[in-house]
Each structure stands twice: as structure tokens, then as C-alpha cells.
Amino acid sequence: MNQRLIPCPEYVTFTNLRRYLDYLSDPNSLAVIRENFYTHNPIPRVEWDVQNHTILSDPNSLAVIRENFYTHNPIPRVEWDVQNHTILNADAIMPQDYEPEYPSRKEVSKAGYNRIKVEMKTLKDVINLVNNSALKANNLHAYVPKHLTEIRGVIKFVDTSISEEKLLQSIECDGMVKGVKRIYKKIIKDDKSIQMVPRQTVIVSFYGNKLPPFVYINSCRM
């Protein structure tokens, strides 16, 4: 069954606004819901003083700024059918195919003096952000800290007869393997010569910042 979101005037958010508008602009939706929303309407009607280009607010602000904003006004005026309590200009408020300007952005937070941390949803979004020409044009630099792009894990009891190259090709896991390095034990012989003896421990580097729970080497779970 196709369920519709019931508009609640006490809970209007950016993410549910379009679905609210669809409901409120539909004359076939429940009239009691539309009437309740209309009575407690949280979506403001922008009231302009057309002559002075003010939102019935400060007439002492710069007139050229007010006129420019009025001409390119991005704040829509909600038009209600008062009798049926339906919104007549839903698409003017938010088009059906509207998407946020940065749909790939997950979170933005402060990371220190003159720095911010931006979390993206996918690796492709990260690459696009780092290579964004608008940042360079404004003398801004985006980079990915190494500890977020690579993580290492230790695997023990790996047969010493398997080379690093062979391990790199044979490892299967829920992640992308960047490299493999075997641990060697340094032995100083009686003649003071040095011998590097391979151990059954290897360090595996993965792309990203999360280790897979396990890996398979030649179909053996490690």
C-alpha cells in the first residue's frame, strides 16, 4: 500500500517539506488534515512593501540591496485556497525534482584554527571535493589525512613460503587491499653477518579507515 506522510504543522523540516506540499496541494487528501495545517500554518507568507522593496521590516537598509533581492526573490509566497485549505503553488516553494546543492555531503564540523572537516558519502565525492576548482580559485586547500585513507592490520600464522606478491594477489576480504609487508627477524651470526629470517606475521594495508573483520588467504579464513 502506498502510504503518504500526514502533514503535521508542529514538525516541518527541509526533508519532509516536499511531501507535505504534495499532500496539502491535493484536494483529494483528508480535508481535516489540511484545515488543521492551515489553522496552525508554520509556512510564512512573505509580505512585501512593493514600493519600497521591504519585507515590512527595516526601511533604513540599503535600497539597492532590497531592490535586487526583491527582483530575484527566492522566498516564495505561499498561495492558499482558503475555502479548501489547499496550497496552490507547491512547485514554486519546492520543485518535485529538487535536490540539495551538496547531496554528497554528510557532515561539516570545525577541525581547528582556519580548518573545517567535511565528511563525504562516497570515495568519488571525496575525489570531486579535493579536485574542486572553486576551492583553488579562493585559495582554499582540501586534502584527505593519511590516517583516513589507509589503515593497517596484522595477520599471524601465514606460511613463510608465500611471497608478498602472492599474498597481495590471493587475499580476499570485504575491503580494498593496498599492500602487504612480511615481518622479518634480524639475526646476527657468530661471524657478525646479518641474516633476515621471514616470520609468519604480515602487515596488510587497506584503503579507508576501517579494518575488515577477517580475510581469506588461499580460501583459508585468517
What pLDDT is recorded for position 31?
84
**Whether residue 177 sits in one domain with residue 123:** no
**Whether residue 84 sits in one domain with residue 49:** yes
Residue 6 lies in a domain: no
**Whether residue 177 sits in one domain with residue 204:** yes
What pLDDT is recorded for position 80?
75
Q: Which is more confident, 200 or 222?
A: 200
**Whether residue 84 sits in one domain with residue 111:** no
- At 63, which amino acid appears? A
Query: Which of the four pLDDT bands, split at 50, 70 and 90, describes residue 142?
Result: confident
| Count of the separate structural domains present in the chain | 3
**Whether residue 153 sits in one domain with residue 137:** no
**Whether residue 124 sits in one domain with residue 86:** no
CB 197 within 8 A of CB 184: yes
What pLDDT is recorded for position 1?
33
CB within 8 A of 86, min separation 6: which ones? 24, 25, 26, 27, 34, 80
Query: Which of the four pLDDT bands, split at 50, 70 and 90, describes residue 3?
Result: very low
Distance (Å, whole) CA 17 – CA 217? 51
Q: Which helix (H) or strand (E) holds 34?
A: helix 31-39
**Whether residue 26 sits in one domain with residue 41:** yes
Mean pLDDT in residue range 39-62: 62
**Whether residue 137 sits in one domain with residue 111:** yes
Residue 11 lies in a domain: no
Q: What angle do CA 80, 10, 87 make, to 5 degrees?
A: 15
What pLDDT is recorded for position 2?
40
**Whether residue 193 sits in one domain with residue 137:** no
Residue 100 lies in a domain: no
| Average pLDDT score over the chain | 77
**Whether residue 153 sits in one domain with residue 213:** yes
Mean pLDDT in residue range 151-163: 90
Q: Is 183 a residue whose pLDDT tops 80?
A: yes
Q: Which is more confident, 133 or 197?
A: 197
Query: Which of the four pLDDT bands, split at 50, 70 and 90, describes residue 104?
Result: low
Q: Which is more confident, 205 or 219?
A: 205
Query: Which of the four pLDDT bands, split at 50, 70 and 90, describes residue 83?
Result: confident
Q: Is 139 a residue whose pLDDT tops 70?
A: yes
Give the DSSP per-residue string, 156-212.
-S--TTS-HHHHHHHEEESS-EEEEEEEEEEEE-TTS-EEEEEEEEEEEEEESS---
First to last CA, the chain: 46
Closest by CA position to 18, among listed 71, 94, 85: 94
Mean pLDDT in residue range 40-51: 62
Closest by CA position to 215, among listed 181, 183, 178, 177: 177
Residue 99 lies in a domain: no
Tally the residues of the chain.
222
**Whether residue 140 sits in one domain with residue 180:** no
CB 177 within 8 A of CB 171: yes
Residue 30 lies in a domain: yes
Q: Which is more confident, 219 or 154?
A: 154
The residue behind cell 527595516 is 58
Task: Please state which of the ranges 88-92, 170-174, 199-203 shows the lowest mean pLDDT.
Answer: 88-92
**Whether residue 55 sits in one domain with residue 71:** yes
Q: Could you list the residue range(s) of the whole structural domain that residue 50 is in? A: 17-93
Q: Is 69 a residue whose pLDDT tops 80?
A: no
Residue 74 lies in a domain: yes
Distance (Å, whole) CA 213 – CA 103? 30
Residue 10 lies in a domain: no
Give how far Cα 47 sits from Cα of 18, 151, 203, Å.
Answer: 22, 56, 66
Distance (Å, whole) CA 161 – CA 121? 40
What pLDDT is recorded for position 201?
93
Q: What is the pTM of this model?
A: 0.42
Residue 5 lies in a domain: no
% pLDDT > 70, the chain? 76
